[in-house]
Amino acid sequence: MLQDIKTVYIESNRVYGSIKIKKAIESKAIDKRKCKLARINHKRIERLMKDNGIQSKAKKKYKATTDSRHHLPVAENILNREFESSRPNEKLVSDITYVYTEQGWFCVAAVMDFCGGKIVGLSMSSRMTKELVLNALDDAYRRSGRPRKAILHSDRGSQYCSLAYQEKLKEYGYICSMSRKGNC
């Protein structure tokens, strides 16, 4: 049984887990009445795999939200990983993520105040555009009492580096800060 598990595992380029290995073994069984392997439980396969150091490669659902391959100006990292704030509207952070709903994937841009971890700005769209982050910025500006000289930190995504976003930051009096490349 262990040899069959190893064979299927290697044939799958070391990707298959216990359930897929069970299905592959079942499909290879010519006469299921004579083949004991066709009736094996996937949990037993899982235990044998664990005992013998056989581990599947799980593919994770991941969507990249940062496109930093652009030629737009990038701000200095003023925040410098100092994520604590003693008063509201001193340090804010903004980012984009994907949320899966019954209608499909949606992009959500949020602005969070480090003092208390409160979300002060939020925007949602079916596309990841500069308007998405601009709407979240407008929401944050209105809901947090129109702060001045607050540090607003983000990654180097093209939406945050866009000229329209940078102009709106200056208009609202925010100080722009961006992470270094590869460091969200």
160 pLDDT above the threshold of 60? yes
Q: Is 59 helix (H, G, I), strand (E, B) or coil?
A: coil
- Does 60 score more than 80 pLDDT? no
* Nearest-angstrom CA–CA distance, 35 and 165: 65
Across residues 39-62, what is the average pLDDT?
Answer: 82
CA 92 – CA 74 distance, rounded (Å) = 17
82-95 pLDDT tens trace: 777 888 888 999 99
Instruction: Specify the pLDDT at position 172.
Output: 93
Q: What is the model's pTM?
A: 0.60
Residues 126-144 pLDDT 10s: 988 899 999 999 999 999 8
Domains contained in the chain, CATH given: 2-51 (no CATH), 91-178 (3.30.420.10)
